[in-house]
Each structure stands twice: as C-alpha cells, then as structure tokens.
Amino acid sequence: MARCAWRRAELEMAPPVLTVAQHGAVGAVALNNPPVNALSHPLRLALLDALSNLYADPAVQAIAVWCEGRTFIAGADIREFGKPALLPDLPDVVEFLDRAPKPVVAAIHGTALGGGLELALACHFRIAAADAKLGLPEVTLGLLPGAGGTQRLPRLIGVRASLEMIIGGVPVPAHQALSLGLVDGVFEGDAKAAALAFAERAIAEKLPVRRVSELCARLDEPLVFEEYEEKLAREWRGFLAPFRCLRAVRAAVELPFDEGLKRERQLFSELMASSESKAQRHAFFAEREVAKVPGLPENTPARPVRSAAVVGEGATAREVAQCFADAQLPVTVLAETADALDRCLYAIREHYTSGVARGQWSRAEADVRLALIRPALSYEELASADILIEAGAEELDAKREVFARLDKVGKPSAIFATSAGSVDVDALAAATRRPEAVVAMHFASPPDRKKLLENVRGGSTGADVFATVMKLGKTLGKVAVPVRGSVAERLLARSSREAYLLLEEGASREELDRAFQEFGFRQAPFASLGLAAVDAGSPQPQELGVRRGKISADEILERCIYAVINEAALALEGGVVARPLDVDLIWIHGHDFPVYRGGPLFFADQVGLRTIYDAILEYQRRFGGQHWSPAPLLERLVEEGRGFYAQAR
Ligand code: 3HC
C-alpha cells in the first residue's frame, strides 16, 4: 500500500507497539500497546505497515494476530476522539485487513471491545480464550461501532443478535460468541500458541479466505426493526446513539456492503459531534480519573480484602452484605437477636429469589451468592473479617459503641467502616484504639441499581486504609468517589427543598415529575422521599411573600438543578469534595442524572456559568438570600470567564 511508504519515517519514531515474526509459513503479528491495546495512531501505522509487508511476502501463507498483555484490543483510542483525524484511521486499517490476500486469524484473550472486535471481524477467522469477552460498547460512549461493526456483525450473527450486542453494549462471553457464530473456536491457555496453531491449520487444510463483508445480512424476522423502534422510544428516551445504531444496522440489510459502510460512517460522525456523546465520553474518563485520589500517591499499598462483616439487621445492612456476595466475597452478617437475624436472612433470600424470577441471575448463581452470606450472633465471629462495616445503629453514641466492640475483636489489619455518609468519622475513630483504620463507605440505595459508593475520609484515616476502600469499590462494581462527607445527601437535600417549595407555590407533583423526565431523569431524584417531610425547617412561601400560581417547567428545573450546582460549588470550595468530576459522578450514579448530559457541573459549563449565576441572582431577588446566594467559587469562575472544567463560553 502506497500509504505505508510515506508513513515509514513516522513509524521509526513511534514506540514499539507491535512485533512481527515468521513462524514457518505463518506471519505472526503481536500487538503490544499497554494498558489495553487501544488502536492508537502509532499502532495503526505499525499494523498497516506490518500487514502490507506480510501480504507482499510470498513465503507467508497465513497471518496470525494476537495481543500481548492483559487483553486483546479494547477499541479505538478514545483519547483521540474530538481531535483532528490522524491517518490512517481505524476504518482504513480494518478494510485493509478485510482485503488480505491470505487467511488471517485473530486470537482473542481478555476483552475484544469496540474497534478491537471490529478489527477481529475483518479477519477471516476468530478464536477466543474460554474466559474472553467480546462486545461493541460504543453506545455507552454515545457512539456506534464506526469501523464496519454495524455492517459485518449482522452478516455474521444475524440482525436480532446484532441489535442486542450493539444497542445493549454488553459484551458476550466466549462460549456465547461461539454459539452465535461470532467466533470459530474457543481455546484454553496462550493466545499466541492458539493463533499460530490455527494459522498452521489454515495452511495445512487450505482453508479459503472468508470475508464477512461478502456474506449477506438476512432479515429473518421482518418486524424486528419496528419492535426495536418501540423499545428504544420506551427505554432510551433522550439518548441519541441507540437510535443511530438501529439505523446503521438497518443499512446492513438494505444496502450493499460498501454503501452500508458509508452510511455507518456518516452516522458515526454525526454522533461524534453530538453533545450527548461528548458528555458520555466525559463520564467515561471521569469514571477512571476518580480512582486517582488527590493527595493519595497512586502506589499507596492497599490491604487485602478477602472477606467482610456487616453489623446491622435493617435494609442497609442487607444491601451492603448483598454487594459483597454479588462480588463473590464471603460476608458475615451480625444481628443482636436470633429473631432479627432470621428476618434479615429471610429478606436476603427473598431478594435473590425475586432476582431469579426476574431473570437477573440463575437459581444456581443465586445459591452461590446466598452461600457466601454467613449469619452471626456474636462479635467474636467477626474476628477474621478483613473489613467490618457498621450498618445499622441510628445514633452516634450507639455507633461509637459498635465501633468500640469491633475494635476489640477485629484482627490487627482489619478496617472499620460505617455505611452512614453524614456521620462524623473522626468521632467514630476516637472510639477505637486505631483511628487510622476507620473510614465511611456510603452506598447509594438501592445498591443493586445504583453504582455510587462515597468513601468518606476522616481526619485520621490512614492512606493505606483509604486506598483499600477505593480499590474495594471497584471490586464491588461500584463507582467509588472520595469525599470528606456525603455530598450525595447534601445535594439531594438542596434540590428536595426547592421541590418542596415549588409544590407549596402551586406546582403539581405531576409537573415536577414531567419536567425531570423531560430533562432525562428516570424519575425526579427526590421521588423516593416524602416531600412533605423534606426540610421541615424550610421557610414557608407565605413567609417568603410568594404567591401560588403556575410555574413553568424551565423554572422547576432551573431551581432544582441550579441549586444543586451552587451547593456543589460550595462543597468544592469547602474541600468536602475535591474535583468537579467527583460531583458529576455522584449525581449520575447516585441520583440518575442523565449521563448524556455529563453530570451537573459538566452541564453547567454547557449552559454557561454566567447564565446560571444571573439566574441565581434573580432567585435571590425573589426569595431572599438565605438559600439563594451565589457560591463564592461560582462568582469567581464567572468573573474569570471560566467554567468548572474549562473556559466558559
Ligand atoms: N482508549 C483509550 N484509553 C483507554 C481505552 C480506550 N479504548 N480503554 C481503556 N483505556 C484506558 C483507561 O482510560 C485507563 O487509563 P488510565 O489508567 O490512564 O486511567 C486504562 O486504559 C485502564 O482502563 P480501566 O481502568 O477501565 O481498566 P479495566 O481493566 O477496569 O477495564 C476495559 C478495561 C474493560 C478495556 C475498560 O477500560 C473499557 O471498557 N474500555 C473502553 C472500551 C470501549 O468502550 N471501547 C470502544 C471504544 S470506541 C471505538 O472503538 C470506536 C470504533 O467503533 C470506531
């Protein structure tokens, strides 16, 4: 390929992201671009160069591709998105692979995701390690598979299964990929050995080149697109990408391959430029960045957590115990009385049984989780747990008593946590002889639907202890956010108070719900609270001189969301939370803020801080300064013409 010559100089400068070797008649290409073998520009250049050499070499009769490191390719390099295109782009490389004049096999271990799976789909054969996963998660970034995935997948596994994978975005395990026809075999052990063995077999058996692009995408179920249209309208309101995914797959059925590719490209570019995708990509990086705790060195050693104990018998204790069992970690539940323990275990069994009925997990999986939960009636039975979590006592004094008892039985390396977010961690720490071991882990409720875990660091919490609970959050499948006090509760209280006042001023409950749903919330964040009980000490609209009347949806949203933004600015300034991204993740994963709006502070930057500031001043004029005073940080950012993240517009 001509392009390869003019890229050679650049290639020599690039880090060694792949190696090429010859094993007999097999050209062997090993990709090595840590941490996840993303298809970054240097790798694309190197791959194109390696392939064109192997295509031209008459001694090479088949090509084997695999990855070094922990995984096969995790996709296009997301860090390149939104920047000027660097050629060759990924579709160029994928199409070049498709046209290989000799058989190419890809051996997948770890995860083949997005562009990684698309590259594998352009190979003529694919095999996967037994524990590998394959998926097209672009939809979670507000995108669609843009390197031929929407055109090749339906040709290989059919329309319905493709829609499930592309719109669902959930990777499938290797055995399922095999039964779908997505891979040609499953192997145990080393990807390199498996790739070479398959390529040698392809030569020995003269297996022909089999291009997925030459297959036909048949529409076996004529109404499947209509069915999906209805489903999307119901379940994906506000999102853009799932709808474009549907259109792209439809093109695979209705258009010749090359035309379908063009349509895919056009839809991909449209999504790439959309505000929805920008926000979802922001959330993706925020979810990774959040683990890097300011002031906590990245190499801080974490204590091992192989087992846990939970003290309490109410809903929180149950839910926390279930989180551990769901993550395959044994957990002991301690209650004060046998009756209370029975009630707690009964509720846990009910939870897993109803999950079986809903198809959330199989009976066998439910039994495995249940078996990991061990009942206890004495503190001594908690002695071997690596982390002991208080999840029940109401009053601070009662909590301090529990901590003192935990301190007596816990082993030297044990960590002591409370599940309460707004409790004074230092007061609990003072009840023990090892304050450095004390921390709070506040799980958003219900934890099986919400991924937020606020890890609250006290004044004396040890660095290793905090590193441990941050790491544990990932093990539990949570988005763990470091805070100095529950920000989720604080922000919720602020927006709930505003909702309460809106109701008092004449807005109806339905109007509030509708406004929030239009904005993209599944339900208003305070829907689970009894609003009459919210902030009993709030000033009454009479007191504030406000007349009841019609309130617009815009005002409802502004008051509930701008109040949160202002409160978040106060929390940032006070050091309760360190970064805007922490706030965004707290509201996305704790209170269902629509991810395609990127979180309240990302959203604030899009609206413009000046607009928000002016609105707050207007509400201050109408309602007084007690609750409507712009946070000093907000004021400063506006004066400096900046946003929370970037330059304000
Ligand atoms: N591009 C660039 N960087 C990536 C990346 C990607 N596709 N995927 C992961 N990374 C980075 C992360 O940002 C993180 O960087 P950091 O250490 O500097 O914070 C590092 O790799 C490790 O990632 P994780 O912490 O997420 O590691 P895990 O082991 O927990 O998970 C993973 C690994 C399952 C591969 C997960 O990272 C993941 O889901 N990645 C994204 C996969 C994806 O969405 N692929 C589609 C990309 S879009 C695409 O391909 C478009 C194409 O159709 C044209």
Averaged in consecutive runs of 10 residues, what is the pLDDT profile of the chain (649 residues)? 49 75 98 97 97 98 98 97 93 98 98 98 98 98 98 97 98 97 97 98 96 93 95 94 98 98 98 97 97 96 98 95 97 96 96 94 96 97 98 91 98 97 94 98 91 97 98 98 95 92 90 93 71 49 65 96 98 96 97 96 97 98 92 97 76
d(CA 114, CA 136): 4
Query: Which residue's CA is the closest to the ligand 1 atom numbered 39?
Result: 74
d(CA 535, CA 497): 6
**Looking at residue 533, what is its pLDDT?**
46
Could you say which of 80, 95, 118, 229 is catalytic?
Answer: 118
Q: Which residues sit with their C-beta closer than 6 Å to ligand 1?
A: 35-36, 38, 74-79, 90, 111, 113-115, 118, 137-138, 141, 143, 145-147, 149, 288
**Looking at residue 558, what is its pLDDT?**
96
Torsion sign across C-alpha atoms 26, 194, 97, 51: negative
**Looking at residue 1, what is its pLDDT?**
42
Query: Which residue's CA is the closest to the ligand 1 atom numbered 29?
Result: 36
**Looking at residue 649, what is its pLDDT?**
37
Three-state DSSP class for 33?
coil
Query: Which residue's CA is the closest to the ligand 1 atom numbered 31?
Result: 36
Beta-strand pair 438-443/415-418: parallel
**Looking at residue 218, what is its pLDDT?**
84
Q: Which atom of ligand 1 is nearest to the CA of 474?
A: 30
Please say whether the beta carbons of 429 and 460 come within 8 A: yes
Query: Which residue's CA is the closest to the ligand 1 atom numbered 52?
Result: 115
CA of 117 to the centre of ligand 1 (A): 13
CA of 255 to the centre of ligand 1 (A): 32
Burial degree of 225 (CB within 10 A; 0-12, 13-18, 19+): middle
CA of 141 to the centre of ligand 1 (A): 11
**Looking at residue 536, what is its pLDDT?**
46
CA of 74 to the centre of ligand 1 (A): 6
CA of 644 to the centre of ligand 1 (A): 25
**Looking at residue 10, what is its pLDDT?**
54
**Tokens (6 digits) for 597:** 């709006």
Please say whether the beta carbons of 325 and 302 come within 8 A: no
**Looking at residue 447, what is its pLDDT?**
86
Told to judge if 138 belongs to the known catalytic residues of this protein, a careful annotator would answer: yes
Sequence-separated contacts (24+) of 642-647 with Cβ below 8 Å: 642/609, 643/604, 643/605, 643/608, 643/609, 644/569, 644/580, 644/601, 644/602, 644/604, 644/605, 644/609, 645/580, 645/601, 645/602, 645/605, 646/605
- Predicted structure pTM score: 0.93
**Looking at residue 616, what is its pLDDT?**
98
Told to judge if 639 belongs to the known catalytic residues of this protein, a careful annotator would answer: no
**What CA–CA distances, in Å, run from 352 to 309, 317, 367, 368, 554?**
19, 15, 8, 10, 41
**Looking at residue 410, what is its pLDDT?**
98
Question: Percentages helix, strand, coil for the chain, rounded to the nearest 5?
Answer: 50, 10, 35
Query: Which residue's CA is the closest to the ligand 1 atom numbered 16?
Result: 288
**Looking at residue 642, what is its pLDDT?**
95
d(CA 551, CA 601): 25
Please tell me the total number of residues recorded for the chain in this structure. Answer: 649
Q: Which atom of ligand 1 is nearest to the CA of 140?
A: 44
In the numeric block, the tokens 């008649």 are attached to 25
